[in-house]
Structure formats: structure tokens, C-alpha cells
Structure 1
Amino acid sequence: MRTTSVGVFKLATRGPGDVSGLMDLIVSGAINPASILAVLGKTEGNGGVNDFTREYAVAALSTALAPKLGLTPHEVEQRIAFVMSGGTEGVLSPHITVFTRRQVETSPKGISGKRLSIGMAQTRDFLPEELGRSAQIAETAKAVKAAMADAGITDPIDVHFVQIKCPLLTSERVEAAAARGNKTATISSYSSMAYSRGASALGVAVALGEVTSDICDEDVLRRYDLFSKVASTSSGIELMHNVVIVLGNSETSASAFEIGHAVMNDAIDAAAVVSALQSVGLGANPQPGRELVNIFAKAEASPDGSVRGFRHTMLEDTDISSTRHARAAVGGLIAGLAGTGVVYVSGGAEHQGPAGGGPVAAISRLF
């Protein structure tokens, strides 16, 4: 018996504070605000520590949805999983993807097989000294399992993308840890983003059985042979816990959508992008009655400073962060294959796919 129906709506934005597209769909009745479970967005900031476009976008969405839900903006943030990824370099286009979920009693005619399902969970708040370490890994693993249960997914093979928003360190947070006699994984706010992303990704890998659970603190950002094939983590200053969104396919879903994924081995792995599209009936010879909704991917500058044996300078550029280079490169590759720059590409893929690569997932809608 199918119990849920998931909806997916991709909306272009004119700026991080633009909520007009979402409000139009709510006014028209296309989206019931009470059904909104998660919002994933790309904002046109720098993607760094001081990228406040992420917080601005969340604040704008929460404020706009608050009267529709009879809640305060803060309560909206607690109810809906907002994940904003900064950085739309190159041809990437700012947008949001809204995921809705509602209960259904019977399956609509023509729905068969496993369909898109979504689940959400949160960890507890972390202490600054826990970021990038085993505590963050363990708590994330528990939250991933809880989100799977919320999505009605029992088999890890049916999980195709796990999006996580995780914290980072600030000078104030580092000082707070020091005042308690504790050291943080790093004192650099920028480096802490990588530590938090990496530990969160390893938490996904533990939850899904992709690696063993005996990972130690020293493995984070060192053992790049340990990774998840479906994790996508994005760090930000606006929270101190992890928000976990699991996307997969389930027999309990009556959705008109499907999701599939592949793993890019490096930043120019076009074959993996094509494989992800083909997994949901798209690509060069698409199945009839299907259309692309969105592609979600991670981008990373390979830590050895090369791609397929040739040197790159992304890690040596002091003017532009390597994550910005990577987003532009991978974004251009995916946009060319998908025929649109309105795709979700996030930089910083530590332990998210093999070193220098990353997961890529595609969602298609069936007619």
C-alpha cells in the first residue's frame, strides 16, 4: 500500500531573497505550504565562510512561509529542511528545488514500481570541538538512518542522494572550545568547512554500510579511500547541527518522479553524468513520457593537483577558491549534457565520491 506522494518543483530565482516563484505556486494551489518538507537552493554568493546569501535565502523563505503555516520564521526553519549551497559560477543558474510530501490512501492509476521518496532528520547541536571528528560522524549516521525510515526506505541500495547541511567553525566558536580546555580540528574557519563536510559524508557512508564504523578522527581529510557514493554535504555558518535529507526510491511512494545516480571519478567524467541520466530513463535516447527535473552533483579539485595525469592549478590559485573553480568546471560539463544551467552543483566533495570526483544524481518526472 502506497502511503506518500512526493512532489518536486524547480524554480528560478532573481536573487537570494526572491520567493515570488514559490508564492505564485502556493497562491495558484499547485503547492500546499503544509506539504513542503525540504528546499534545496543554489545562491549566487561565493560559497565561503562569509557567504551570507545562504542565510539571506533561508530567512526570506522562512519569513514568506511563516504566515502561510501559522508559524514564526524560526519555527518554519525547524519544520522545513532548508539547504542553500552558495556559488553559481560559470553557467550555473540560481534556483531552488522544493520537495513536498503528502499522505495518500490509494495509488494513482499507472503508478508502479519504486518511486521517489524523501525523508528528513536532524542531529543534535554539536560542540565546536566535535566538528570534523568521530562525534559528528556517529551522530550523522544515526540521523541518516532516521531519515531513511522517514522516507520509507529500508534497503541502502534504494538511497540515491543524501543532502546534508552542516556547521562550520568561527573564531568565536574556536575560542569557546578553548575556554573549556578543548581544541578544535582546526582554527581556520575555511578549513573547518572541509572537516565538517568530510565527517558528515563519512557518517553517510557508515549508515549505508559503504565503510565500517571504526573510523577515527585522523581519517577525516586523510583517508580519501573512505567515501560515500551518494553523500552531498554543504557547510554553513547559520547552524550548529546537521540537517539530513535522504532521497531515494520506495515501494511506499506514489510519486510521479524517480531518482537515480552515478559516481563521477573526476571533474570531467561525462560518462558518469550520462549514466545518471540513463538511470532515470533520460540521456541520448530518452524513454517516452519522461522529462528531466534536476541534477544534483558534487564538485571537487582533485587533492593530487591533477586530472587524468595532467596538472591543474585550482589548488594553487590564491585569487579564486578551488571550490569555485570546481563548481564552474563540473557545472559546465553537466549543463552541456543536460541542456540547462539550472542544475545543483555544490563544491567541496571531501569523502563524497572518490578523490577529485563526486556523486551525481538525476530526477525525472514520468507522465
Structure 2
Amino acid sequence: MPATSVGVFKIATSGPGDVSGLMSLISSGTIDPKSILAILGKTEGNGGVNDFTREYAVAALCTALAPHLNLPPHDVEQRIAFVMSGGTEGVLSPHVTVFTRRTVEARPDGRSGKRLSIGMAQTRDLLPEELGRATQITETATAVKAAMADAGISDPADVHFVQIKCPLLTSDRIAAAAARGSKTTTTSAYASMAYSLGASALGVAVALGEIAPGIRDEDVLRRYDLFSKVASTSSGIELMHNVVIVLGNSTSSASEFEIGHAVMKDAIDAAAVMAALNSVGLGTTPQSSRELVNVFAKAEASPDGSVRGFRHTMLEDTDISATRHARAAVGGLLAGLAGNGAVYVSGGAEHQGPAGGGPVAAIARLSS
């Protein structure tokens, strides 16, 4: 019976425009460019509204891949899902993780059980006034279900990480909504990031049955008891729709990789990180037949101003944004446990895990 084979490649970058590592793997035949489905990256920008390293990285990748795909650069994004997360504070190291998928005749001998599978979908273009509201939640939920089907995953329990790239508001978009007689959730571009991130995460929670449907506009950024245990959302100015990437395990996959996850209750929850590593056989007594590929996590400054009863000052620092503090803190924790700084930590965890915490997922390569 035909199966899908998913590949995962972590590639260090010297800057947001550096595509040399990927091109080298393509030149050597290690990666077939036509099999690339998604690229997740960490760039050394500020992770804010004006972080143009994200768009620069995507443009560089599209330009480099276009000749290999016989497409103009601007059409590459219609074929490959790009999610660039800005901010490599502390020991975090810039890199990209490339996911490939191809169809194979059957599973290789010895590969049994559920293996890593990936699926992609996207919403329609959203209106500025729909960001951070119930419409974005509903549209995202529909796209998550479509991405699950694309990944060959039917059981929500087999979904371990849902990465979403979502839009944010700009002054032009706010003005366009006003010209139509519509009001956006906020007139602050920076604040709109949180609204879009939160609504997208709630869409994941609805799709996977983690929470009931019917979430109201006023629940976004207020009902923090509503969250997804596997959602990771990142916003940017370069799009007006949500790009959804579902990562999970499926019996239809012939991949040599496996993914697992846990939920961090706060920014120093080392036990949860170890639980995620344990879920793929890489905990305190790692299996010799397995190798860690990458760790993916969300990070945020606890909104109540404390971590385990001790006050933190991340929300009160006017020099460095709280998201940058959180990425550095969680990045240091993950890097120490993973053994390197090239880990994917995204800031802003609104409705992604409990308040102050967030999901953490690990991908391991299996030898058979």
C-alpha cells in the first residue's frame, strides 16, 4: 500500500538571507526541492511588527528555490508553507527546519507503528476587521481539519504540533476597514499580533476538540482558561491569510521520524521539556537508536507577573519587550536540555498552553 515519507532537515544559517546550506543539500541530492512542503525558521530580528528579517528570509528562499521548481519566485509561497519566527535572543541560534514529503510504494521493512506525518492548508484571505475575532477562529478550525486530512491523521490525539502563520494589522489595513465602516479589534499594530495569535490558537483548539465551538469575540485575550495544548502561532505583515501546518504521527507514514509533545506550565518547566523528549525516546535514558532533530516551543511572560510565586519584571521592562525576554529564558532552558541552541522558540503564547506556559514538541530520528 502506498505511504508517505516525511523528511526533516535542520540547517544553520549565517543570516536571514543565507540559503547556502539548503542549496548544498539540494545540489548533493539529499533534498529534492520538489518534495519540500514547509520551512520553519528562526531569524535574528526583533520578532515585532517591524521585523523584516522574516520577509527577507522568505524572499531569499523563494528566489533560490524558484529555478528548481520552474516557478517565478512569488509563486513559490503557493507551493511551500514558510513560517519565519523572528528573535534569536540569548543562546538561540538562527536556523531553518525543512520538511519534505513524498509518496513511496510501501513502508520499508522494520518500520511499524505511527510515524511523523505533515499536512498543510490555509484559510481564505481575512479582512482586517476579522482578525482576532470569531471569524478567524472558525476559518482556522476549518483549515486545521483540512491539514489533518492532508497529513492522513484522523485522530486529534495523534496531532502533536500545529504551526500557524497569521496576519497582523497595519495602519493601512486599519484605515481600509474604517473606510468600509468597520472597526478592528485594536488600532495598535503591536497589540494586533496578540489578537491574531490568540484567535488562531483558539481555532486549533476548536478543531481538535480541546474546547467547545462557539467562542465569542470577547473571549479572545480574556478567557485564558481556553487554550490549545499543541498550537504554535506566529504573526507577520507579509500575508492576510492563515497558513496551517499540522505535525503528528500516522500509520500511513513511512517516515524515519517521530514527534511527541508536552505542555509547559511556565517558562522554567524543565519537567515538561523532558516529558516531550521522553515521548520520542530521548529523555534521561535516551535510546541509542534515536537522535534528536529539533525542539519546538512557545514562550511568554506570565501575564500575572510571577513565576511560581516569584515576581518577574518582563512585563515592566521598557527597554526590551516581554516577548524577547521570554524567548531568551525558554530558549536557554530548551538549549540546555537539547544540547544546542538551534531550537525553535516562538514568543507570544496567547491561548497556546496555559497562561505563562506553552506547548513543547520534539522530533526524533529513528534508525529503523
Same fold (TM over 0.5): yes
Residue 196 of structure 1: aligned partner: 196
Superposed CA offset, 1:19-39 (max 9, x none): 000000000000000000000
Superposed CA offset, 1:176-197 (max 9, x none): 0000011000000000000000
Give the residue type in structure 1 aligned to 2:243.
V
Residue 39 of structure 2: aligned partner: 39
Q: Distance in 2 between matches of 1:179 and 1:283?
A: 55
Residue 20 of structure 2: aligned partner: 20
Residue 181 of structure 2: aligned partner: 181
Superposed CA offset, 1:14-70 (max 9, x none): 000000000000000000000000000000000000000000000000000000000
Q: Distance in 1 between matches of 2:110 and 2:300?
A: 40
Residue 335 of structure 1: aligned partner: 335
Residue 316 of structure 1 deviates from its aligned partner by 0.7
Q: Does the Cα contact within 8 Å between 1:49 and 1:189 map onto a contact in 2?
A: yes
Residue 94 of structure 2: aligned partner: 94
Residue 229 of structure 1: aligned partner: 229
Q: Distance in 1 between matches of 2:228 and 2:241?
A: 20
Residue 284 of structure 1 deviates from its aligned partner by 1.5
2:292 is aligned with 1:287: no
Superposed CA offset, 1:69-92 (max 9, x none): 000111101110000000000000
Q: Does the Cα contact within 8 Å between 1:294 and 1:362 map onto a contact in 2?
A: yes
Residue 123 of structure 2: aligned partner: 123
Q: Distance in 2 between matches of 1:216 and 1:20?
A: 46
Partner-residue secondary structure (3-state), 2:147: helix
2:166 is aligned with 1:156: no
Q: Does the Cα contact within 8 Å between 1:2 and 1:253 map onto a contact in 2?
A: no
2:15 is aligned with 1:53: no
Give the residue type in structure 1 aligned to 2:117.
S
Q: Distance in 2 between matches of 1:284 and 1:138?
A: 40
Residue 2 of structure 1 deviates from its aligned partner by 4.9
Partner-residue secondary structure (3-state), 2:198: helix
Residue 288 of structure 1 deviates from its aligned partner by 2.1
2:252 is aligned with 1:256: no
Q: Distance in 2 between matches of 1:230 and 1:106?
A: 29
Give the residue type in structure 2 aligned to 1:195.
Y
Partner-residue secondary structure (3-state), 1:78: coil
List gaps (5 residues or longer) in structure 1: none
Superposed CA offset, 1:209-233 (max 9, x none): 0000010000000000000000000
Give the residue type in structure 2 aligned to 1:53.
T
Give the residue type in structure 1 aligned to 2:211.
V
Give the residue type in structure 1 aligned to 2:154.
T
Q: Does the Cα contact within 8 Å between 1:2 and 1:254 map onto a contact in 2?
A: no
Residue 357 of structure 1: aligned partner: 357
List gaps (5 residues or longer) in structure 2: none
Q: Does the Cα contact within 8 Å between 1:11 and 1:95 map onto a contact in 2?
A: yes
Give the residue type in structure 1 aligned to 2:140.
T
Q: Distance in 2 between matches of 1:159 and 1:361?
A: 11
Q: Does the Cα contact within 8 Å between 1:2 and 1:251 map onto a contact in 2?
A: no
Residue 81 of structure 1: aligned partner: 81
2:299 is aligned with 1:299: yes
Q: Distance in 1 between matches of 2:332 and 2:155?
A: 33
Superposed CA offset, 1:304-351 (max 9, x none): 011011111101111111000000000000111111100000000000
Give the residue type in structure 2 aligned to 1:123.
T
Residue 313 of structure 1: aligned partner: 313
Partner-residue secondary structure (3-state), 2:78: helix
Q: Distance in 2 between matches of 1:248 and 1:288?
A: 23
Q: Distance in 2 between matches of 1:167 and 1:106?
A: 39
Partner-residue secondary structure (3-state), 2:200: helix
Partner-residue secondary structure (3-state), 1:298: strand
Give the residue type in structure 1 aligned to 2:287.
Q
Q: Percent of counterpart pairs with the same letter? A: 84
2:133 is aligned with 1:133: yes
Q: Distance in 2 between matches of 1:323 and 1:2?
A: 44
Q: Distance in 2 between matches of 1:68 and 1:2?
A: 26
Superposed CA offset, 1:87-108 (max 9, x none): 0000000000000000011111
Q: Does the Cα contact within 8 Å between 1:42 and 1:96 map onto a contact in 2?
A: yes
Partner-residue secondary structure (3-state), 2:46: coil
Q: Distance in 1 between matches of 2:170 and 2:252?
A: 42
Q: Does the Cα contact within 8 Å between 1:38 and 1:80 map onto a contact in 2?
A: yes
Residue 10 of structure 1: aligned partner: 10
Superposed CA offset, 1:263-303 (max 9, x none): 00000000000000000000210012100000000001111
Residue 145 of structure 1: aligned partner: 145
Q: Distance in 1 between matches of 2:320 and 2:110?
A: 50
Q: What TM-score does the superposition give when structure 1 sets the normalisation length?
A: 1.00
Q: Distance in 1 between matches of 2:72 and 2:191?
A: 34
Q: Distance in 2 between matches of 1:36 and 1:338?
A: 25
Q: Distance in 1 between matches of 2:89 and 2:21?
A: 22
Superposed CA offset, 1:155-205 (max 9, x none): 000000000000000000000000001100000000000000000000000
**Root mean square deviation, CA, Å:** 0.5
Residue 355 of structure 1 deviates from its aligned partner by 0.2
Give the residue type in structure 2 aligned to 1:202.
L
Q: What TM-score does the superposition give when structure 2 sets the normalisation length?
A: 0.99
